[in-house]
Amino acid sequence: MKTVGTLVAGREVYHVRVEHTVREAARYMSDRRVGAVAVLEGDRLAGVLSERDIMSRVVARALDPDTVKVGEVMTRELVVASASESNEDGVRKMKQAGCRHLPVIQGDRFLGMVSLRDLLQVDLSEKDEEIRLLNAYIHYVPPGTGRA
C-alpha cells in the first residue's frame, strides 16, 4: 500500500514564515507553481497558506499584500496526514475537510505537502497498471493451444 509519506519523500519542502508578507508568499508560490505552502513559526508548522486564503482573506477584502503578514491570514486549523497513512486516507481527509492540500507529518515533524492532484495521479497510474495487467490476462494465449 502506498502512503502519503512516500509521496513527499525526497521532495523539496516549500514553506514561508509567519512574518513574510502575503506578496512575498504569493511570489514564492508562483515561482514554484504550487497552490499552497506550509507556514513555519521557528521550526514549527504553524499553518498553511493557500491561493484560496490569499483570494478570500486579502484580495476580496482589499487588503494590502505588501503589509499583511502571512500569519494574519493563513489557515491555522490544520487537517494533517501521518506519513504512514494511505493515499486513500489522504483523499478521504481532503474530501471531509474540503481542502486540496494536506501537510504530512511524522510525529511532530513536518515532512511536506501533498495535493489532491498528487494523490489522484498516483491513483490513475495504479489504475492504468491494473488495466494493463487485466488486458494481458484476458488476451493471454497459453503455449501449445494452437490459437494465435
Cross-strand bridge partners of residue 113? 103
> Would you say residue 146 lies in a domain?
no
Domain assignment present for 123 = yes
Q: What is the pLDDT of residue 86?
A: 92
CA-to-CA distance for 82 and 9, rounded, in angstroms?
Answer: 13
Q: What is the predicted pLDDT for the residue at 133?
A: 80
Q: What is the domain-level CATH number for residue 132?
A: 3.10.580.10
- Count up the domains in the chain and report the number: 1
Q: Is pLDDT larger for residue 26 or for residue 4?
A: 26
Task: Write out the three cell numbers for 44.
Answer: 514549527
Q: Is residue 82 in a domain?
A: yes
What is the structure's pLDDT at 141? 77
Does residue 143 sit within a domain?
no
Q: Are 7 and 114 a contacting pair, CB within 8 Å? A: yes
pLDDT (tens digit per residue) in 28-69? 999 999 999 999 998 889 999 999 999 999 999 999 999 999
Establish if 144 belongs to a structural domain: no
| Residue 38 near residue 13, CB atoms below 8 Å | yes
Comparing 7-16, 38-47, 84-93, 133-142, the range with the smallest average pLDDT is 133-142
Torsion angle of the four alpha carbons 21, 27, 29, 30, in this order, in degrees rounded to the nearest 10:
160
Confidence of residue 73 (pLDDT cuts 50, 70, 90): very high
pLDDT reported for residue 47: 96
* pLDDT range class, residue 1, cuts 50, 70, 90: low
Calpha distance 130→65 (Å, rounded): 47
69: β partners: 21
Segment 77-124, tens digit of pLDDT:
999 999 999 999 999 999 999 999 999 999 888 999 999 888 988 777
3 state SS of 85: coil
Look at residue 148 and tell me if it is in a domain: no
What is the side-by-side order of every strand in the sheet holding 44-50? 15-17, 36-41, 44-50
- Give the structural domain span for 58: 4-138
pLDDT, position 118? 87
